[in-house]
Amino acid sequence: MDKIKQYFKIYETEETKAVFEQNEYDANRLSLWVIVACAVILGIAWILNTVGIFSVPKYRMTILAVSGLVEFAVPVVLYLKVKGKRRWLKYVMVFMLLLVCTQLFSILNHNVILIMMIPVLLSSRYFSKGFTVMISILSVLLLAVASAITVLYGIIDLNVYPSLDNGTVIVIQDGLRSSVLALGLETSRAVKSMMINGFLPRLLVFTVIGFISVLIAKNGHNMVLRQNEVARASASVKAELNTATQIQNSMVPNIFPAFPERKEFDVYAGMYTAKEVGGDFYDFFLIDDKHLAMVMADVSGKGVPAALFMMASKILISDRTLMGGTPAEILGFVNDRICSNNQAQMFVTVWLGILDIDTGKVIASNAGHEYPVIQKSGGSFELLKDKHGFVVGGMEGIRYKDYEFTLEKGDSLFLYTDGIPEANNASNELFGSERMLEALNQKADGKPEEILANVKSEVQRYVGDAEQFDDLTMLCIRYNGSE
């Protein structure tokens, strides 16, 4: 008994139990509609027999129609009562369907052979190999019984009826059936001929149909298990990416106000990745009490590789900056360190500036990054078209150049990555530097966080439903002057 139960068991886990249950409920709903369709077919067969198209005795067809509709009513009532949400319901629904199909086949045998395949095919929808095998075996047994019964009560098929002696003449007066029975052939001989000429060929067809249905059930069952494994692996990857996102976000300053005790400047930054993790990064930190370092960088590529390269680059830049030196010297050192073992052949564009907090003087160096944007107090944001050096990580031995500018009291500096000017809308048109400047000037007198929020809003409004292709990273600092 345990082996039988094991054979019928659906190998489900706690994770897939709900999926298999829902699958059986959906299959029950399909069975309900098949039963309704078969009930309609049964009614049509009764009508056709009543008007004389079929030659079955009317009282036998009436008995079949009434009993069949009653049998169909049982699973329908049970389905409505439990709302299709019982896993045992499939046994009632498919077995009753098989019973009525057998009755119909026993009367209209050579006209409705396909109807005997319906329960077998329907059973495969439940994704239970044991259940499909059981229905297939029952279908073959009932097919044999129906083939024998049809000799007594069904439409006579001369193709499978016993061969008549040469010279035998059939005079059809009251119908083919009455004429053939008037020959006085033995019933046992007719049944034997039916089983040999009618049942055996159909058995071969049913064997193929049953085999295919069992494979469908088995493969459907395995498909659910495989999909669960894929979903579990996907969930694991997503969880790891979420962790990576948290780690990456923790690598950049994200607590604001960043230096509440320092009134000489106000700084705010934001990083919005196109994927779970990205290659952009910003940084700002005090080298000492009088100097603030500001970094804006963009790693080539996207996703996890870019994020790993971003972390390594950020650590190198910040550590080397704290050791002292000008931005050009720092970038040269970092470039050589990255090029010494850059098997991934990735690179990073960097803008690095060091602000003298007392004087507002900024020494900066640009390694292939976007132009910075400066707003003089009371004026508009404008691009500062500095000279670009080569990207960091592209070639060993590159020497970068420093340049200087001074922030007066009330001036602002805006740094960004190319994800802003290169943002695309649905028509593949770029947001561009001009729109970026317009967005900056809309909130030119606002706080740094208000300026960044407006730029982000304008970019999102311009992009619309188009997918964000690149990371959006921004930093804005307002110099308030030294006390």
* Residue where a domain terminates, one of 173, 203, 233: 233
Give the number of other CB atoms < 10 A from CB of residue 447: 14
Q: Is the same domain home to 52 and 163?
A: yes
Is residue 239 domain-resident? no
- Buried/exposed code over 253-266 (b: 16+ C-beta within 10 A; e: otherwise): beeeebbeeeebbb
Is residue 12 domain-resident? yes
Is residue 351 domain-resident? yes
Q: Is the same domain home to 161 and 82?
A: yes
Report which residue type is found at 350. Answer: V
Per-residue pLDDT at 149: 77
Per-residue pLDDT at 300: 85
Q: Is the same domain home to 92 and 189?
A: yes
Q: Is the same domain home to 35 and 133?
A: yes
Q: Is the same domain home to 227 and 258?
A: no
The CATH number linked to 273 is 3.60.40.10
Q: Is the same domain home to 55 and 193?
A: yes
Q: Is the same domain home to 219 and 75?
A: yes
Give me the tens of pLDDT residue by residue for the chain, a chain 483 residues long: 555 555 555 556 666 778 888 888 999 999 999 999 888 988 888 898 888 887 677 888 888 889 888 988 999 999 999 988 888 888 999 999 998 888 888 777 666 677 888 899 898 888 888 888 888 889 888 888 887 777 776 666 656 566 655 555 555 545 555 555 555 566 666 667 666 766 777 778 878 888 888 888 888 888 877 887 777 777 777 776 677 667 777 788 888 899 999 999 999 999 887 766 667 889 999 999 999 999 999 988 777 788 888 888 999 999 999 999 999 999 999 999 999 988 888 999 999 999 999 999 999 999 999 999 999 988 999 999 998 899 999 999 999 999 999 999 999 999 999 989 999 888 889 999 999 999 999 989 999 999 999 999 999 999 888 776 677 899 999 999 876
Among the listed residues 82, 137, 146, the one whose alpha carbon sits nearest the alpha carbon of residue 111: 146
Is residue 248 domain-resident? no
Q: Is the same domain home to 171 and 314?
A: no
Is residue 241 domain-resident? no
* Residue where a domain terminates, one of 200, 233, 266: 233
Per-residue pLDDT at 393: 93
Output 14-22 pairs: Cβ under 8 A, ≥24 positions apart. 15/228, 15/232, 16/224, 16/225, 16/228, 19/224, 19/228, 20/127, 20/224, 21/87
Domain enclosing residue 191, as ranges: 2-233
Per-residue pLDDT at 241: 67
Name the domain count of the chain. 2
Q: Is the same domain home to 261 and 296?
A: yes
Q: Is the same domain home to 222 and 367?
A: no
Output 31-34 pairs: Cβ under 8 A, ≥24 positions apart. 31/75, 31/90, 31/93, 31/94, 31/97, 31/122, 31/125, 32/75, 32/76, 32/79, 32/84, 32/93, 34/97, 34/118, 34/122
Report which residue type is found at 407. Answer: L
Please state the pTM of the whole predicted model: 0.60
